[in-house]
Structure 1
Amino acid sequence: MSTLSVPAKAPHAAQREFSDNLRMLCTYYRSVADVCRKLNVNRAQFNRYLNGTSKPSSHTLERICDFFGVEPAEIYLPREHFHQIIQVRPKQRTERAVHSEHISRLQHQTIGKFDKYLGYYYEYYHSMSAPGKVLRGLVHMFNHEGAIYHERLERFPQHANLDETYKCKYIGGAFYLNDRIFLVDYESLTGNEIAQTILFPTYKNKVARLSGLMLGVSSSNQRSIACARVVFEYLGKSIDVRKAMRLCGLFDPKRDDIDPTILKVIDNSPHKDQHHFYTIPL
């Protein structure tokens, strides 16, 4: 945001114009409470800004203006002039609010449906970066402040015929929508990939394994886009994470390290008479 000085005028007039303009900006959101929540400001203090009995500090004013997409000098303009300026901006602000509300609504739809799926899993799929190898990673699904999130940890040891030992850490959100589980995450250590996994739910009381498809990008120089069948194997709500990570890595599917029933489900061979890449039911 560019730095503009606040116009010099009578203190009471400037405060009245600021309050009037702030109330107008709030009308682009569902409620004043919604604005306070998104701004992370105290509701009682914000009400004092709205009724003109208090004015924000320069730091708070900058936060408020950043949030609404206006300049500090603009918010002190006469109401009619200010309204003319922001007439070209309401659509942008409204769309920004609506976009965040879409995510909040999807998260709200998920709450309660995810309870039995929370905890730790091993994930299995044919590696996109090491062809011919099966990757075993660790996934943690958890509830944080009313929304479901997850972490995926992958470990590549030196003996896996790669140039060096490295790890991948994916962080993202999880959604339960119309009888399917959606995981969307990004690689947080490099920030160069977003991946999506879609899983079938289980209709049993206890979760054992979940199958689905994963879409991602290989970490090779070619950064190939790939889709792979994947299996999540439930470990429990509380585990020894260090020990579990030591068991992660890349494995030769011809050896006995991976359960044959898992290898069958994550086999990416094309199926007869299928025109798309489908998952294999458990």
Structure 2
Amino acid sequence: MSEHLGHNLKLLCSHYRSIAEVCRKLGLNRAQFNKYLGGQSRPTPYNLKRICDFFGVEEYELGLPADQFARLIGARTDGPAQSVQDPLLELLQPLREHATSLARYCGYYFEYANCMSVPGQILLSLVHLREERGNFLFERQERQERAAGGSAEDWVRCRYLGAAFYLQDRLFLIDYESLTGNEMSQTILIPSFKSRISRLNGLKTGVSSGDRRTPACTRVVWDYLGSEINRVAAYRQVMLYSPDDPRIDADIRERLAGAHIRDGLFEIE
């Protein structure tokens, strides 16, 4: 484990603002934790369990090769998600003059949608909406397993980067798939006017990942998780689910089924 431990711990820590924050939450000495990161020391069994429990990983997973571990937990290995020089943001910059602040909606969400590429299945994605220098940006991570019970190598991963705008009482989100650069999608959500945000309903348009790349539209639900989460533990839940899976509650199923066609338009009830 010692060969890969330090690098994998650094990947886990990249989900937090600083190493100091991780040490504070873990209750570990910063100098000692730095030795773990540098591969100079291995945690005691007690500290190793605390670290694994905190990040939501197994002990053996910390010993995986770095690239395999990164795919397993959805860690970023290519720097910040976006910068203010993103061409998409520059193109949409004029909308900022007409948009209302999305600050109250910032945080993490589970996105539930009827899967465009695997009909009859529900795709759960992890979304992080944040504010950066006056822009509202988001990252959405998806993954699908090629075969049941497969290893980290058997998962197809997608990472979407996008910009969000609040215009005329609707949330508009447009993104692109950043790992391949071969698709875009748009989501429109109905905002929550309650003091506490729980779930947002809306529609998403995009294309199926099948060979024909068929344009599609699906009902979507965003389930608010909070401003800070255990990102690794949340990412482990990102996958395809059957509609009758007990992990998909009845309210989510009802919201995903609550759309119909009327006069040629796809409407939300």
Above 0.5 in TM-score?
yes
Displacement of 1:101:
7.8
**Residue aligning to 2:236:** 246
CA contact (8 A) 1:108 1:147 kept: no
CA contact (8 A) 1:180 1:200 kept: yes
Q: Which residue of the other structure, out of 84, 95, 105, is the alignment partner of 1:106?
A: 95
Establish whether residue 126 from structure 1 lines up as the match of residue 114 from structure 2: yes
Q: Distance in 2 between matches of 1:120 and 1:140?
A: 5
Number of matched pairs: 180
Establish whether residue 278 from structure 1 lines up as the match of residue 261 from structure 2: no
* 1:45-78 deviation per Cα after TM superposition (whole angstroms, max 9, x unaligned): xxxxxxxxxxxxxxxxxxxxxxxxxxxxxxxxxx
TM-score by structure 2 length?
A: 0.62
Establish whether residue 200 from structure 1 lines up as the match of residue 200 from structure 2: no
Establish whether residue 138 from structure 1 lines up as the match of residue 111 from structure 2: no
Q: Distance in 1 between matches of 2:107 and 2:89?
A: 27
* 1:198-226 deviation per Cα after TM superposition (whole angstroms, max 9, x unaligned): 00001011210000000001111110100
Establish whether residue 223 from structure 1 lines up as the match of residue 187 from structure 2: no
SS of residue matched to 1:221? coil
Establish whether residue 255 from structure 1 lines up as the match of residue 229 from structure 2: no
Displacement of 1:103:
2.7
Q: Distance in 2 between matches of 1:268 and 1:131?
A: 16
Q: Quick one: which amino acid aligns to residue 156 of structure 1?
A: Q
**Residue aligning to 1:234:** 224
Displacement of 1:105:
3.1
Q: Quick one: which amino acid aligns to residue 182 of structure 2?
A: N
Displacement of 1:129:
1.1
SS of residue matched to 1:231? strand
Give the 5 Å matches for 1:24-173: 103-110=92-99, 113-159=101-147, 164-173=154-163
SS of residue matched to 2:108? strand
Q: Distance in 2 between matches of 1:159 and 1:165?
A: 8
TM-score by structure 1 length?
A: 0.59
CA contact (8 A) 1:183 1:196 kept: yes
Q: Distance in 2 between matches of 1:100 and 1:200?
A: 22
SS of residue matched to 1:142? strand
In terms of mean alpha carbon deviation, does 124-133 or 259-268 score higher?
259-268
CA contact (8 A) 1:197 1:215 kept: yes
CA contact (8 A) 1:228 1:268 kept: no
Q: Quick one: which amino acid aligns to residue 93 of structure 2?
A: S
Displacement of 1:259:
1.0
Establish whether residue 181 from structure 1 lines up as the match of residue 166 from structure 2: no
List runs of 5+ in structure 1 lacking aligned partners.
1-98
CA contact (8 A) 2:219 2:259 kept: no
Closer/same/farther in 2, CA of residues 199 and 238 from structure 1, 3 Å limit? same
Q: Distance in 1 between matches of 2:198 and 2:220?
A: 14
**What is the root-mean-square deviation in Å for CA atoms of aligned residues?**
2.4
Look at both structures and tell me which one has the larger radius of gyration over its CA atoms. Answer: 1
CA contact (8 A) 1:110 1:148 kept: no
Closer/same/farther in 2, CA of residues 265 and 158 from structure 1, 3 Å limit? same
Displacement of 1:145:
1.1
**Residue aligning to 1:25:** none
CA contact (8 A) 1:116 1:206 kept: no
SS of residue matched to 2:260? coil
Q: Distance in 2 between matches of 1:101 and 1:193?
A: 19
Q: Distance in 1 between matches of 2:189 and 2:195?
A: 17
CA contact (8 A) 1:193 1:217 kept: yes
CA contact (8 A) 2:259 2:268 kept: no
Question: As a proportion of its length, which structure holds more strand?
Answer: 2
Displacement of 1:104:
2.5
* 1:171-191 deviation per Cα after TM superposition (whole angstroms, max 9, x unaligned): 010000000000000000111
Displacement of 1:232:
0.2
List runs of 5+ in structure 2 lacking aligned partners.
1-87
